[in-house]
Amino acid sequence: MEPPMLPRESGRFVAEWSQDVFVEEEGVQKVAEMLYNLRHGDELTAIGWEMANPLAPAPTSDQALNWVFVVDTMNFSFWPEKESEQCEVTFNGTTYTGYMTLCAAIARAMEEGVPITDPKFFSQMSVEELGHVLRSDNKTPMPMLQERHQVLTEGGRVLLENGGSFRSFISKAANDARKMVELIVEKIPSYRDEATYEGRRISFYKRAQILVADFWGVMAARGEGDIVSMDWLTMFADYRVPQALVYLGALRYSDALLQTLKNGELLSSGDRREVEIRGCSIWSVELIRERLCQLMQERDGQTCSVNSAIIDFYLWPYAKQHHKEMAHIPIHHTRCVYY
């Protein structure tokens, strides 16, 4: 069987054929200008990873790398059935929702002495044990507990078969981001984020790419971030960053798609419209990055070191911080293990 197109090529292909999602040149320019104005700050550097992951263990320990694996392996589908019924987890006096409930739950378990970052433990933990770790403060549980248990124990077994830690496993890819993604996708089935579009096999690899980017973020924070081919990574196609891209004008949805999303219709994984949202998100960020690099070269005479992962590291918290202003733009809802 022919292998799927890689994420960047997939994004370009989807954008060329898309019927309901469109990349807008004016919005691409606007976002590039916005990022250009941040070029001297920490937001567009690997330091941004630490800022975005305040509940992670200190990056100086290899426990932080196993933490990244545990969190990214279960990093999917946090949206609530009803906006008023959010899963919540409180840790150190702060109550978290969304993706941060997972981070808070893992931090709480570590404080309680649960060895949740040890592959020997999480590779064979029971559904009930994981349910206790991920317990909510209220009656709304974290969605897809069975699926989270399946992918976490599966991933833990892969680590045990490859040296017993995420670092020993990923070291087989020799500090090459592309090889890391390929290794993860080859060895761990739940990371094979692929679809068929216009008769072609395509890929997004959202969680595999963010796992590599998070590994890079930890290593950079400890002064060891010399991973090659980071430019190979794309943005991480989820449901929150596309909303930000629409808000900023880099993406536009058709009236029919907007109405579908406003009606709360669930899109299945692989649905044409879901694929178009994700694929066009990838391609719009590629164009934003390209334009940002042009601006830095033209205005400053500087080579651009910003990659698509860093742009995603900026846009995801941006979406969270501006969620009230973006409330009129619906996010798409897809229950799956890929994002």
CA-nearest of 87, 96, 86 to 55 is 96
Distance of CA 67 to the CA centre of its chain: 15
Query: Which pair of tokens denotes residue 172?
Result: 């087989």
The three-class DSSP label of residue 333 is strand
CB-hemisphere CA count at 13 Å for 222?
Answer: 15
For residue 276, the surrounding DSSP H or E stretch is helix 272-295
Largest CA distance in the chain: 57
**Is-contact 67 324, C-beta < 8 A?**
no
Q: What is the DSSP letter of 171?
A: G
The three-class DSSP label of residue 305 is coil
What's the rounded Cα separation, in Å, for the pair 185 and 192?
5
Specify whether 312 is catalytic: no
Q: In whole angstroms, how large is the CA radius of gyration of the chain?
A: 19
The three-class DSSP label of residue 266 is strand
Among the listed residues 72, 193, 214, 238, the single catalytic one is 238
What's the rounded Cα separation, in Å, for the pair 171 and 224?
13
- Written as one letter, the residue type at 33 is E
CA-nearest of 106, 226, 119, 227 to 178 is 227
CA-nearest of 241, 228, 219 to 315 is 241
What's the rounded Cα separation, in Å, for the pair 267 and 57?
35
Known catalytic residues are 238
